[in-house]
């Protein structure tokens, strides 16, 4: 039972890291687009 809980918890942590990483990339791209628009 403890092993199952550990596996599920590890899955949530890994999924959360991937989600946060993806949001960070999206925000970075948005910032680059704003920067390009401001320099024109």
- Each residue's pLDDT, cut to its tens digit, for the chain (40 residues) gives 888 888 888 877 777 777 777 778 888 888 888 888 888 7
Positive/negative CA dihedral, 24, 27, 33, 36: negative
State the Cα–Cα distance between residues 29 and 4, nearest whole angstrom: 38
Q: Which pLDDT does position 6 carry in this prediction?
A: 86
Q: Which pLDDT does position 15 carry in this prediction?
A: 75
Q: Which pLDDT does position 34 carry in this prediction?
A: 86
Give domain limits for the chain.
Answer: 1-40
Q: Which pLDDT does position 29 carry in this prediction?
A: 87
Residue for token pair 């687009």: 33
Q: Which pLDDT does position 39 carry in this prediction?
A: 83
């Amino acid at each position: 039972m403890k092993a199952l809980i550990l596996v599920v918890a590890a899955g949530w942590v890994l999924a959360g890291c991937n989600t946060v990483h993806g949001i960070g990339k999206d925000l970075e791209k948005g910032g680059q687009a704003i920067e390009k628009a401001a320099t024109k």
